[in-house]
Amino acid sequence: MLHFLRNGRGSLHAQGLARRVAGALMALVLSLTADLALAADAGKPVPGGNAILALDPAGVTNLNTQLTSLTPSLMMADLWADGLMARDRAGGFIPHLAAMWTISDDGKTYTFNLRRGVKWSDDQPFSSADVAFTLTQVAKYNTYQTKFLPLVESVETPDDATFVVHLKQPVAAALDLLDKDNFPLMPKHVYEGAEIPTNPANRKPIGLGPFKFQSWEEGRALTFVRNPNYWDQPKPYLDSVIVALIPNPQQLLNALIQGEVDWSRLDYTQVQRAQDASKSGKFKVVKIETFAPERSTIDFNLRRKPFDNVEVRRALFRAIDRKRISADAYRGLALPATNAIPEQFKTLFDPSVNYEEIYAFDRNKAALLLDAAGFPLKNGKRFSLELAYIATSPFDAVAKSVAAQWEEVGIDVKLAGLDSQIWTDKVYRRNDFDVSLISLTARSDPTLGVDRSFVCNEAHLPYVNPTGYCNPELDRIALQAGSVPAGERRMLYKQYAEIVSRDLNELTLTNAPTFHAVATKFQNLDALFNIAFNEGPSWADVWLPDNMR
């Protein structure tokens, strides 16, 4: 164990002043050398210890993030799952299961050279067949892959350590789509020949990540232990990670303050209190603001009246004060969205399409638009609607704020706060809704997190355009914007934003950063937050000094 103790130097018996001075100087040099050695040792990762994470358990029934994009499952995936590559702190791609990769000159062929000798957490060998199976069989359930898969011409596995994907056209965000957060690799030997959505491995996953699943105590905690097969030895350094399931945001923060929990993603209602409490030095609050903005959105079911009338949708947008939503639900930490393309995408965002100008909050204007659309007030009401949402924060507060504002212009709003599984089935699988509210992460490129809200969707995948809106013009521009050189994308996304602002199948209300709290006792905290682009903590890098366990 390392101890920062200054041991006694012993007595120096000297004969004369010169000898005493020389001895003192030598002792000082030896002392400084010892201190430097200790400091060097202190910076070297040591194995052992554990971490306790805390997450809201709402809706967590599935850990396989090829099948769900709920935040708690995404956060836990970093423990047990891995992929071809990841991001470094600067946003560049770094090798994981792919030791290297090459891209053809025409941008349509990606060749990945995989690490050899890697095993899954159940000791079975990993190979290119697993990557091909994940892309061709599992990824079709992945909300982020819906528009990428049709562009895949074919895949090849020339040998166990080589995976090749041929595209029909270049895709600017191909590497984003194939990184570990958007494309976690799944074991062919576990899923082949069985129903993928109902496979027991979705709750007891077999993975390539730094930790392996051990147990799930329903409603209380999940335990992950060190994966001895992890490809990047000697990582991970921790022995185990326990995920505590705490549904109450205030209780969760109390656990952080009391040192019972080491990390959590903070609810917006608790950020200020957490920042105040962090002055103790026991934990720090980290603002994640590079890409991956949280977009609070409203989806209209265009299959139903009156939501098939664009003038009604425009009027309802006019009736929403988005600054009030930021104050009510986000404690002022969210910003009104300018248009469908988040401003965090600095090279793609064009501010000339501005919702604050096109649909400035104006209750009187909204009322006039509803009158003109054929929905005048009758006995104080215009029409009724049901607003469906997941009954948890911040959706509760956003829904209540929207409902109150729409009622001010004569809309009779029934709030339907639902369990996440019931809500998902109602909105995405059965399309049995009037209006739905959710927060969708934009991820690192519009191809991943924005297209899914607006492009045509004939499937019934969760978190993919449930509105019935299908505009071939928009689909064409989205496809083109995702394939042209970087310098040509901005103009196309301006056209994209203009079409969305005209048609409004979905209202993007606010963009918000997210906030994490993490105990300062951990070393390698910078590495922990090295992927703000996708927001997932990298627990493989974290370690604890002996005196902090």
CA–CA distances in Å: residue 211 to residues 134, 206, 227 = 20, 10, 4
As a whole number of angstroms, the distance between CA 123 and CA 212 comes to: 11
**pLDDT, tens digit, for every residue of 196-253?**
999 999 999 999 999 999 999 998 999 999 999 999 999 999 999 999 999 999 999 9
Q: At what angle do helices 395-407 and 322-330 cross, to 10 degrees?
A: 140
User: Residues near 208 by Cβ (< 8 Å), separated by ≥ 6?
Assistant: 81, 82, 97, 118, 120, 121, 126, 185, 229, 230, 231
Predicted pLDDT of residue 440: 85
Instruction: Identify the CA nearest to 517 among candidates 214, 322, 280.
Output: 280
Secondary structure (H, E, C), 307-342: CCCHHHHHHHHHCCCHHHHHHHHHCCCCEECCCCCC
CATH of domain 82-200: 3.90.76.10
**β-pair type (283-288, 514-519):** antiparallel
Predicted pLDDT of residue 387: 98
Q: What is the pLDDT along the chain (549 residues), one digit of tens a residue?
A: 222 222 333 333 333 333 333 333 333 333 333 333 333 345 789 999 999 999 988 778 899 999 988 888 988 999 999 999 988 777 788 999 999 999 999 999 999 999 999 999 999 999 999 999 999 999 999 988 888 899 999 999 999 999 999 999 999 999 999 999 889 999 999 999 999 999 999 999 999 999 999 999 998 999 999 999 999 999 999 999 999 999 999 999 999 999 999 999 899 999 999 999 999 999 999 888 666 678 899 999 999 999 999 999 999 999 999 999 999 899 999 999 999 999 888 899 999 999 999 999 999 999 999 999 999 999 999 999 999 999 988 999 999 999 999 999 999 999 999 998 899 999 999 999 999 999 888 788 899 889 999 999 888 888 999 999 999 999 999 999 999 998 999 999 999 999 999 999 999 999 888 899 999 999 887 665 554 545 666 889 899 998 887
Predicted pLDDT of residue 36: 33
**pLDDT, tens digit, for every residue of 492-512?**
999 999 999 999 999 999 988
* Residue spans of alpha helices (H) in 322-454: 322-330, 355-358, 363-372, 395-407, 420-424, 446-449, 451-454
- Altogether, the residues listed in the chain come to a count of 549
The CATH class for the domain spanning 294-512 reads alpha beta
Identify the CATH assignment for 209-289+514-548 out of 3.40.50.360, 3.40.190.10, 3.40.1160.10, 1.10.10.10. Answer: 3.40.190.10
pTM over 0.75: yes
DSSP string spanning 90-111?
TS-EEESSEEEEEE-TTS-EEE
Give the residue extent of every domain in the chain: 82-200, 209-289+514-548, 294-512
Predicted pLDDT of residue 97: 98
Q: How does DSSP classify residue 115?
A: P
Predicted pLDDT of residue 529: 54
**pLDDT, tens digit, for every residue of 244-264?**
999 999 999 999 999 999 999
